[in-house]
Amino acid sequence: MDETQELEQRAQALRTQLNSWRDAYYTQDAPVVTDAEYDRVYRELETIEAAHPELVTPDSPTQLVGDATLPELGKVPHEVPMLSMGDVFSLDELADWADRTTASAEAGELEYNVELKIDGLSLSLVYENGVLVQASTRGNGRIGEDVTKNVLTIADVPQHLARPLSLEVRGECYMPKAAFAKLNAAREQEGLATFANPRNAAAGSLRQLDAAVTKKRQLATFMYTLLTPAEFGVTTQDQAIRFMTELGFSTNPSSERLAHLHDIDDYIERYTGQRDDLSYGIDGIVLKVNDLALQEQLGNTVKVPRWEIAYKFPPEEAATIVRAIDWTIGRTGVVTPTAVMDTVQLAGTQVSRATLHNPDFIAEKDIRIGDTVLLHKAGDIIPEISQVVLSKRPADAQPYAVPTTCPSCGAELVHIEDEVALRCINPLCPAQVQEQLTHFASRPAMNIDGLGPKIIAQLQEKQLVRDVADLYKLTADDLAQLDKFKEKSINNLLQAIDGSRHNSVERLLTGLGIRHVGAKAAAVLAEHFGSMAAIAAASEDELAEVDGLGPIIASTVAQYFAMDTTSELIGELQVAGVNLTYTTQTAAPETDSFVSGKTVVITGKFTDFTRPALTAQLKALGAKVTGSVSKKTDLLVAGEAAGSKLSKAQTLGVQVMTEAELKQELTED
């Protein structure tokens, strides 16, 4: 085999590997390698193709932008393609790019607008007469995904501009670091796979089919590109940013207009040092020729503009040794592994522990006790192991044996279908009790005023409670042992505990912390079955048939009540005098209203109603209010920006009523 054949085979192997990684990163929002590893392999392919242009193929990642769009989302063609950006990885490479660009422009020394490279995903916003009409992702650069309904939930995206202009702007949708940390913590608590970085978290959130999920994810944006700037008298990139700011868009305040490379180097050095302190993730600096006419003159390659470049920060990693793996248990029973390592300095902090997420993560990385590992910070905040240094693995290192029993109570750990986490489902597990007690006493659950985490910690420390039933056995003498607890505090807490005995059973169901059973599901269960005994006796199929529950909740409820420890706990609560029946009184619904006996769905935004109040009003009139449109839906009440539910209702021939029509019916009724 000659050298050309070897290079051809190598190029094909690199293309196959990179395209697999691209699919994981862009389409599945679940990267399998670090950015640094992807960039290293990509540059090897670039080098081969540059030396041998005849080896370039149409499916090469060097010729592609973004990736495939999700079939579930509508398609949006981009009249002006949304391109990628070229990368450099050193100041010398940046200087070379600047020299080439200056020579191509033939305009003397160039001026640049220097901006932070936000770690998010590209977003296009289209306005007509000042009103947001369409939002889309980059997709493959030519066709993106319609994410309008999701973008409407992002707080800093203006739905109406300060002036009634028709235009398109582009920028970055990102997830702030605090929201990223909160989301991953919640997903780990639920036993779900965590996001690798804020960019993938933002992409996964923006591309949701349920806009309510997107809203909870707390996304944000920075706009930096104005299409057709000449229409508005804008001639430079820094003017474009000011113009977009005046219209109400969120723009990044850190951009600067610079001409000399030493000033650009200073800018890079400054933000390299400040990146850990920013509330959002950045992975580099972007240089753009400031003169928009020169941008147009310089043009684009098939994939990237010639007038801009991204300087990417070098990956910050530290090598350390894994000494142990600790397993901790949360309130919902998820058992989470954490690597205990030799302390190292990383991104400005001392790090000695890193989450290992779940058993699949340990197996995928093949992490063993005694391994030397490379550590980085996911999203600049969460320490994570990127890879094992196999050349330094001890000869006697053995594959890590994941525990099969709970390290706290000894109960068998379960691997629930579709979850990546191990879970202890014993409700009496000591490690879960403190968080369970706090949840049990919270306002949505049993609402025991004055019973907070600090008091619960004292009760546990003094071995006065081991489960929620023990709260009802507490005496004045018991509470007198707590710090700063005098007669008034003792009486108040005992009265609050006693008062909670009389709650309707849906509060108790909420307080038990059954997975997936929040206040709404608990109310549905209680109202349908009438008592704790009836719920416990129901089969999984019977539970799944209850409107508003579904198979996932049915499975977790059936599994919970099948355990002997659950029967023991419910028995203790019954002996303690805690009410186990449904006692919530609701007014009898009307039987002769315009919605009596009808299945109604509410969607969109309303001027004179809140969603909860309208739901309650329609239920009082005898309607059955559900969350999704189907063939069984009789009526859709549609406010502004009704979206996909309105389209589906029209397709199915469901009656649609506007807010004005609804108000008229309510007045007449």
Active site residues: 117
Q: CA nearest 34: which of 303, 313, 311?
A: 313
| CA-wise closest residue to 151 among 130, 184, 115, 126 | 126
Q: Which two tokens stand for residue 143?
A: 């066709």
Q: What are the percentages of helix, strand and coil residues in the chain, rounded to 5?
A: 40, 20, 40
Pair 217, 184: CB distance under 8 Å: no
- Phi, psi dihedral angles at 174 (to 5 degrees): -140, 170
Name residue, tokens 């025991």.
Answer: 448
**Residues 6 or more apart in contact with residue 393 via CB below 8 angstroms:** 368, 370, 371, 372
Nearest to 545 by CA among 565, 520, 525, 562: 525
Residue linked to tokens 């019916």: 665
CA distances from 348 to 118, 275, 313, 317, 321 (A): 20, 10, 15, 12, 19
85 in Cβ contact with 97 (< 8 Å): no
- The CA distance from 484 to 229, in Å, is 67
Other Cβ atoms closer than 10 A to 38: 18
The residue with tokens 């985490």 is 453
Pairwise CA distance, residues 311 & 74, whole Å: 34
Task: Determine whether 487 is exposed, middle or buried from the number of CB atoms within 10 Å of its CB (0-12, 13-18, 19+).
Answer: exposed
Among 101, 233, 266, 91, CA closest to 167: 233
Whose CA is closest to 73, among 209, 215, 216, 210? 209
* Residue 259: partners with Cβ closer than 8 Å, 6 or more residues away: 109, 110, 111, 112
* ∠ CA 69-75-76, rounded to 5°: 115
Tokens coding 291:
């003169």
Q: Which residues of 306-330 are buried (b: 16+ CB within 10 A; e: fewer)?
A: bbbbbbbbebbbbebbbeebebebb
CA distance 171 to 160: 17
